[in-house]
Amino acid sequence: MVAENVVAVTDDSFESSIINGDKPSMIDFWAEWCQPCKMLAPTIHELADDYQGQVLIGKVNVDDNPGTATKYGIRGIPTLLFFKGGQIVHQLVGVKSKAEIKKVIDENLLD
């Protein structure tokens, strides 16, 4: 369920690719059984194409990577966390429109 420009992020790779990564990032916390997550997936893939080279778009499967989900207090999915300089700068919970997500990326992640 990860597209070409979407990075599968794990408990093991989270710190190196997101916290210490060289790009701002948006991480989608999701699960295979989550219907709203499936509804959001095409939007995530489109955003990954739109922001290729500017913003790392990643997905964390909360069932396979409970450590990261617990560390960031993920209680409901889908949850989108936006990181810049290794810090969370914004959070969205639930299914959001592409326009809503783009606005957050443009205002918080791009200089």
Residues acting as catalytic residues? 34, 37
CA-based torsion, 67, 102, 84, 21: positive or negative: positive
Residue 36 · residue 76 · CB < 8 Å: no
**30 closest CA partner among 67, 65, 71:** 65
Which residues are registered as beta bridge partners of 84?
Answer: 87
Residues in Cβ contact with 8 at an 8 Å cutoff, skipping those fewer than 6 apart? 2, 58, 59, 61
